[in-house]
């Protein structure tokens, strides 16, 4: 029996709205996770570069653990296995939320933060040590020197790898379907189950992911070029 393509059904009425709802969930989940991962990754970098041994070992252990375990396993751990170790107040807050959505954000953020921390550390190490020493000599504390002098330069250096981490997070968000988050891939699967047109459904979702990746890459690259142009003009 020959397969008959039917692209119209994918975009018609209810199924078209499913794709839009899935896209909205993907964007919301990815946006929140990117912000949290950037904050956590920066915090881990500062801990690792501090001279307090317990903090250094904590940061190193965190980074190595999360970078070397599969994201799928981490998602399942946070969703199925973390209940016995989470504080009571945090569990109470978690269960008042959309627990699948919140769990996916936690997993994506903690996982991506480990990679961002390593990228940021590389950026900081490429900056001459004399800048940190000069900052400390002017009376700034270690945290102040990092916040006002070192980190702004490091973020400019790591823009390309940072874009890659953001794009990886957006693509990794598709794994949230395994715990029932109704994001883009989940909705494509639902459309396929209702229409039996899997080729069309997953082609559309693939093109949407591709468009998102290209758009994010373009916007960040344009911002970086403009930022560098303004900096050179000064």
Domain that holds residue 79: 10-233
Is position 182 within any domain?
yes
**How many structural domains compose the chain?**
1
CA nearest 22: which of 201, 146, 152?
201
Could you tell me if residue 148 is inside a domain?
yes
pLDDT along the chain (234 residues), means of 10: 80 88 96 96 93 94 96 95 84 84 95 96 91 87 89 87 91 96 96 91 95 87 69 52
Residue 225 lies in a domain: yes
Measured at the CA of 162, the angle between CA 208 and CA 131, to 5 degrees, comes to 165
Query: Is there a domain that residue 199 lies in?
Result: yes
Whether 106 maps to a domain, the answer reads yes
> Given this model, what pLDDT does residue 190 score?
94
Any domain includes 1: no
Q: Can you give the pLDDT at residue 175?
A: 96
> Does some domain include residue 40?
yes
H/E element holding 37? helix 13-49
- Please give the structure tokens belonging to residue 68: 């070397």
| Full-model pTM | 0.89
Residue 84 is predicted with a pLDDT of 84
CATH number at residue 167: 1.10.3720.10
For residue 215, is it within any domain?
yes
């Amino acid at each position: 029996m020959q397969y008959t393509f039917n692209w119209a059904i994918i975009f018609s009425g209810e199924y078209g709205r499913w794709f839009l709802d899935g896209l909205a969930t993907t964007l919301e989940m990815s946006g929140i996770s990117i912000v949290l991962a950037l904050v956590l990754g920066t915090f881990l970098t500062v801990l690792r570069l501090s001279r307090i041994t317990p903090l250094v070992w904590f940061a190193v252990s965190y980074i190595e653990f999360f970078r070397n375990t599969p994201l799928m396993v981490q998602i399942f751990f946070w969703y199925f296995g973390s209940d016995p170790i989470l504080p009571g107040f945090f569990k109470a807050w978690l269960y008042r939320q959309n627990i699948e959505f919140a769990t996916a954000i936690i997993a994506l953020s903690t996982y991506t933060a480990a990679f961002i921390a390593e990228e940021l550390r590389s950026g900081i190490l490429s900056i001459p040590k004399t800048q940190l020493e000069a900052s400390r000599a002017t009376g700034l504390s270690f945290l102040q020197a990092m916040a006002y002098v070192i980190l702004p330069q490091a973020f400019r250096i790591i823009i390309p790898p940072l874009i890659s981490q953001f794009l990886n997070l957006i693509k990794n968000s598709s794994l949230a379907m395994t715990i029932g988050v109704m994001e883009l891939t989940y909705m494509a699967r639902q459309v396929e189950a209702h229409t039996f047109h899997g080729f069309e459904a997953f082609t559309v979702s693939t093109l949407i992911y591709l468009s998102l990746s290209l758009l994010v890459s373009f916007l960040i690259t344009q911002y970086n070029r403009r930022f560098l142009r303004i900096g050179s003009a000064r």
